[in-house]
Structures are given as structure tokens and as C-alpha cells.
Structure 1
């Protein structure tokens, strides 16, 4: 009975240790969505897009809605012009005050409001395309981090299995050495291969931790928090896409190209607005006014309304500034046209580069799959010969390294195929989220 307190005392430190954190499970879709929600770049682009949308609504309201104004004034010190210039000393009387209400609506102003509203709308559309572009790039970054961590976990598992195989080989070599079937050199070579496998496992664990840190930072988790991935690694059909058809689709839907087109249209609207500013402005305004206080208010009619026509020339000693403003707008249009041409050229280059990389990834995957099968068969044959004493330790070590290399190459090729498939979708402009 005296042993029970002693056992409890010895087990207390073990019970006090915190339990290892459980690995949270993620699918690719869930992880990409979580990364987009936590991305500062996406939030920044979204706020910029909302700001541009509110600016467009403000400009549209200013162009289409009437302006309502209220005015109440009266002197509280000095001579009152509304009451026979009577001198007021820190007081206000009803007969000294005037109040007016006005409602103004611009019906036409030589398309100035139309051009300004069009500029604002194109700025909104350009911001939306910027948001799409940022969302696409952040989605691809998250997708690559997901597959990279899954690859590193797979390689760590392969390396761990290789370590177990090397340890088993050492035990077998040690037994054969004791029975006089292997030399001391074979035993030392086997142990060297075992230690090399331990070294490879340590490197694989470090690579996994590095990928885990990147994985967690994108979703704002603790960098070393474990994660369990549910990756669908069925490659499916590995038929190459039709790059000629996809190029036309990319030029029609890629966010970078659409943004450049909206910027060019906005520059054209700015040029039209600058040109309009150099010509006379014809305006039609409707006004409804009412005066309520003071002796100066009209007796009849009240309220009164007007429909006015005005023509104003812009040559008020500022023709030079208007001319230079026009030249600046023309230069901005040329810059936007060059930016559009550059964006289209970049899309063409990126799409064909992504096609070449995807083609290589598919071929590499098929080759490495065959290579793994061949290396597995060869290792089984060499293992059997080694147990029978007809194969030396160097041949067995080479067969194990070939099989390890084949498994690593296949895992890398499989993950590269998924990443490059997503890269091709990114180049086409198909959504990744």
C-alpha cells in the first residue's frame, strides 16, 4: 500500500503536462477561403473598390438630384438693411431677419455631368477588376501553400518509411554478418545508409515545418500549429487544354486586361471633359424659391420658379491652363493605351508559359509513375537476392535509393501537376476561389 502514494507522486508531473494540440483539418476550398478572409491585400483592394463605388454614387446623385437650400440671416449688431437701417445692439428682431428656401435642378450643362459620372463609373469598374486580380493572386498563393505543405508531409512520410527500411536492412545485415554471410564492411555500409536515412528525415521534418509556418501565417494561426490536410490528389484527365481558344478567353476576362481597358475608357472620358472645358458651356437650370421672413420678401408670387438658359465662355484669362490640361489628358490616354497593349502582351506570354509548364508537369508525372513501379519491382528482386546472399549491400543500397528517389519524384510531379493546372487557370482568368 505504501507504493500507491509513490506512484501517484511519480505520475503527477506527467499528468500536469499539457496535451499536444490537435491538428485542425483543412480542405483546399476551405483553406483558400480562410486565406482570402485573412489577407490584408484583399481587404485593402475591397475597401478601395467600395470607396470607388461610393464616389460613383455621389457623383451620380450630384448629377441627377436637385439641390435643396435653406437660408436664414439677420444682423444682431449694426444697421439693418431690411428695417430702414435701424441700428441693432446685440439683438435680433423678426423684421430684421430674412429666410429663403430654394430648389435648384440642372437640366443640361453641355454633358459635363455625364462625362464626370462616366469617369467615376469607370473608376469603380477599374477598382473591381483590381479586386479580382488581387483575389486571384492571393488564391493562387494559398493554393500553392496548401499543396506545398501536403507535398512536404508526403515526403516526410516517404522518408520515414525509408528510414524504417534502412533500419530493417541494418538488422538483416547484422544477422547475416553474425552468420558469416556478410563482411564487416557490409555491416558498416548498412549502418552508414541507416544514418544517412536519419539525416534525410531530419531535413524532411525541417522542410515540413517551414511549409507549415507559411501555411499558418496565411490564415493567421500560430506558425507551429499542426494542420491535417484533406487533399484530393486524383489527377483525373491529364489532357492538355487548347491554348488558342483559351487565349481569346483570357483576353476577354483576365482582370488585368479588363482593368487596362477601363482605364483607357476613363482616360478618353477625361480627354473629352478637358476638350469640353475649352468650349463654351450651355446650361439649362430650373429654380424654385420661396422667401418667408423679412420685409424684402415678395408678396406675389411666393414661391416663384424660373427656367434659365446660360451660355458661358471659358476664355477668362485661363486658356493656357485649359490647353495644358487638354494636353495632359491626351498624354494620359496614350499612356493608358500603351498599358493595355502591355497587359495583352503579358497575358499572351503568361498563358503560353503556363501551357508549357503544364505540359511538362503532365509528362513528368506519367514518367515518374512508371519509374516508381519499375524501382519498386527492382527493390523487391534485390531484397530477395540479398536475403539469399547473392546480392551485396551496395546493390541493395542503390536499389533502395532508386526507389526512394522514384517515390519522391512522383510525389513532387503529382503536386506540381495540380499547382501548374491552377497556374494555367490563373493565366486564363478563371476564378480560383
Structure 2
């Protein structure tokens, strides 16, 4: 038993009492911006979008613009097939070189270029919605880390206050015991409660450090580097949103749903491409301009038999059906199966959007009620603790009643802090569920 060494016990308890760490100051908005800038996942999604955007532009330019090519040929050494196989020994003269310039413009090819560009645009849109979904998820993760650290800092302060109160209670019990006003059982109970408060303090410190690690990890800072948070948490309005109207918004604005819709449209386009390329005849209209400057090999009177330059329109009709008809048919069937898969993915995305919206609504409703009740409970528990503490000093209450009153007050404060944090986070989750961007 530790009746004769209270000073030593007090010095041991102070090892758990650390002040709230100070460091670089963050607001929720400043932390969010830095976390999004430092996210590797966002960088990957952004580069994927840039890649798909450039592929789309490439397909548009390829379909809309003519092609221009320049070709130069020469045989500087050996038997030249263009000069009756005469042997040339390291000779590179202008008369030994031939040049060809060709301009070609695909005017029409049965809408294949149009479908290719449309498919690329829908792939770009899908990649853009994927980027928005990643931004939304990482923004929610960052704000969750911010408010979780704020909560753990608050709980650390509450636990520290409880530890101080338990130490003061133990000192009071020791004094009353020495004056014969309290029993040994009361003193032992007080010391047990003090030790329990020390354990809670150690747990609260560990929880705070774990939250700090998560907080710093999203910024690529040293994981245990202190941070000061500027938060002004208030429950705000207790009015609940209109879930029916928000569900209609979610099915239009959620990036996951919009991505699934773009994938479905792209699947329809790919199916049309497959049908046109494998089963339907293809009509092609191409304009060509060509100029040749052949090698003369110093032969006088050399001339081309064809007009130079020459130009023409080419009209072609091709039928894709051949001995490989079965392979072509299965290509079309594969595209049709992919379309059905994207249609099912759209239905699943709509289901997930509805589920997440309702879960966030129910959670928000619960958090608002818990905050209201825990606020009342904190007020009642505080009054009860003051009464029991006074009764304990007067000898009409024992240590068990006092310990229970202290635990009730501690529990009420913790519940209120958690409920307040939950209100903030569930409102953010509800915004995510409706498709309202958090990163802007």
C-alpha cells in the first residue's frame, strides 16, 4: 500500500501529463489543400486523365485534318535498282536522289473516324469522372484526418482534466483517512481510480499520436511532428436535409454514376464500331495530291509518264465478310457483352449512391440526437459530481459513489465530443453522397 509515499506517486503520474503539442497551425481548408496537393493517388488519376485527353485530341485531329508526307530516296553505294543496277561508289549527288510529296485527306470512311473520336471522348469523360471521384474520396479522407486529430486532442484534454481530478481526489482521501474521516477501503478505491485515470491518459496519448501519424502522413510530414489545429466546431442547424430531392441530385451529380454513364455510352459506341467494321460494308472517299521529283542520274530527256503533280478522288467499297466470318461475329458478340456489363455497372453505381446517401442521412440523424442528449447528460453529470464531491467531503458519500459520478461526467464529455465530430463528418459524407464536391 502507498500511504507513506504520495509524493512519489504524484511524480510518477506527471509522466503521463503532457501538454497539447504545439506546431505549425492548420485550418481545415489549408490542410485540405495541402493534402490534395500531396496525394499520389490524385496525381495518378490526374495523369490518367491527361493521357486520355491527349488521346481524344489525337483522334479528333486524325479524323479532321489531312496528312502530309515527304519521302526522299537514294542509293549512295552499290548496285542501284533505280539506275539499271549500275554500281555507285559512295556517290551522293542531287541527281541521284528522288523525292515524293503526298497530301491525303480522308473525306468519308463510313463514320469510322467519327466513332473513334466519340469513343475517345467518352473515355476522356470517364477518366475525368474517375479523377473527380478520387478527389472526392481523398478530400473526405483528409477532412476526416483533420477532425479526428481535433477530436483526439480534445479527448486528451478531457482525460488530462480527469487525471488531475482523480489525483486531487486521492490527495483528499489520503488527508481524510489520516484524520480518521475515511476508511482504508475508501482510500484504496481512490488510488485505484487514480491509477485507472493514468491508464486512460496513456491510452488517450497513444490515440492522439496515432491520429497525428495519420494527419502528417497525408502531408508527407515527419509522422510525429506536432500540429496546431484551428477549429471552431459547432453543431450548426439541427434541421435534416430532404433526402428525396438529394437522391435525385446524387443520381445526376455523383462522379461514380457519371463515370458509369460515360462507360455505358462508350460501350454503345464500341458496339457500333464493331458492327460497322465486322459486318457492314465500308464506303471510303479519299482526296489525294502527289508530286514526284525522281532521280535523273544525269540522263538528259528524263521525264515521267504520269502528270506531275497529280491529284485524284478515290472512292472505294469494301465488304468485310470473308472466310473469317465466325471470328468477326464473335467480336461483335464480345462488344455486346461488354455493353451489358457497363449497363449493369451503371445500375450498381445508382444502387451504391442511394445506399450511401441513406446511410449518411441516418447517421446524421443519429449524431444530432446523440449530441443533444449528451449535452444534457454532461450538464446533469456535472451537477451530480459537484453534489457527490461535497457529500464525500462531509462524509455522507463513499468513494464508490464519487468514482461513479466522476466516470459519468467523463463519459458524458467524451460522448459529446464524439457526437460533435460525428455531426461534422456525417455532413461531409452526406455532401459526398449527393455529389457536392468537397475539394473546391
After TM superposition, the score normalised by the length of structure 1 is 0.91
Change (3 A) 1:306 1:92: same
Deviations 1:62-82, CA, capped at 9 Å, x for gaps: 111111101111333455565
1:315 corresponds in structure 2 to 321
Task: Tell me, yes or no, if structure 1 residue 46 matches structure 2 residue 52.
Answer: no
- Kindly indicate whether the alpha-carbon contact (under 8 Å) linking 1:83 and 1:95 is maintained by their aligned counterparts in 2: no
- Kindly indicate whether the alpha-carbon contact (under 8 Å) linking 2:151 and 2:418 is maintained by their aligned counterparts in 1: yes
Aligned positions of 1:55-66 closer than 5 A: 55-66=55-66
CA RMSD of superposed structures (Å): 2.0
Secondary structure of 1:315's counterpart equals coil
Task: Tell me, yes or no, if structure 1 residue 385 matches structure 2 residue 386.
Answer: no
Which of 364, 369, 387 is equivalent to 2:370?
364
**Whole-Å separation in 2 of the counterparts to 1:374 and 1:311:** 88
The unaligned stretches of length 5 or more in structure 1 are 1-19
Task: Tell me, yes or no, if structure 1 residue 349 matches structure 2 residue 355.
Answer: yes
**Whole-Å separation in 2 of the counterparts to 1:217 and 1:27:** 17
- Kindly indicate whether the alpha-carbon contact (under 8 Å) linking 2:25 and 2:229 is maintained by their aligned counterparts in 1: yes
- Kindly indicate whether the alpha-carbon contact (under 8 Å) linking 1:291 and 1:297 is maintained by their aligned counterparts in 2: no
1:428 corresponds in structure 2 to 434
2:408 corresponds in structure 1 to 402
Change (3 A) 1:181 1:85: closer
Aligned positions of 1:95-134 closer than 5 A: 95-134=95-134
**Whole-Å separation in 1 of the counterparts to 2:109 and 2:35:** 48
**Whole-Å separation in 2 of the counterparts to 1:412 and 1:286:** 72
1:227 corresponds in structure 2 to 227
Secondary structure of 1:107's counterpart equals strand
**Whole-Å separation in 1 of the counterparts to 2:263 and 2:76:** 54
Quick check: 317-326 or 103-112, which moved more?
317-326
**Whole-Å separation in 1 of the counterparts to 2:79 and 2:185:** 119
Alpha-carbon distance, 1:340 to partner = 0.7
Alpha-carbon distance, 1:297 to partner = 5.7
Secondary structure of 2:315's counterpart equals strand
Alpha-carbon distance, 1:397 to partner = 1.4
Quick check: 107-116 or 382-391, which moved more?
382-391
The unaligned stretches of length 5 or more in structure 2 are 1-19, 297-301
Deviations 1:253-276, CA, capped at 9 Å, x for gaps: 111111111111111000000111
- The number of residues matched between the two structures is 414
Secondary structure of 2:124's counterpart equals helix
Secondary structure of 2:323's counterpart equals coil
- Kindly indicate whether the alpha-carbon contact (under 8 Å) linking 1:82 and 1:95 is maintained by their aligned counterparts in 2: no
2:187 corresponds in structure 1 to 187
Alpha-carbon distance, 1:83 to partner = 4.3
After TM superposition, the score normalised by the length of structure 2 is 0.89
- Kindly indicate whether the alpha-carbon contact (under 8 Å) linking 2:35 and 2:219 is maintained by their aligned counterparts in 1: yes
Secondary structure of 2:365's counterpart equals helix
Aligned positions of 1:108-187 closer than 5 A: 108-187=108-187
**Whole-Å separation in 1 of the counterparts to 2:243 and 2:303:** 76
**Whole-Å separation in 1 of the counterparts to 2:404 and 2:75:** 104
2:245 corresponds in structure 1 to 245
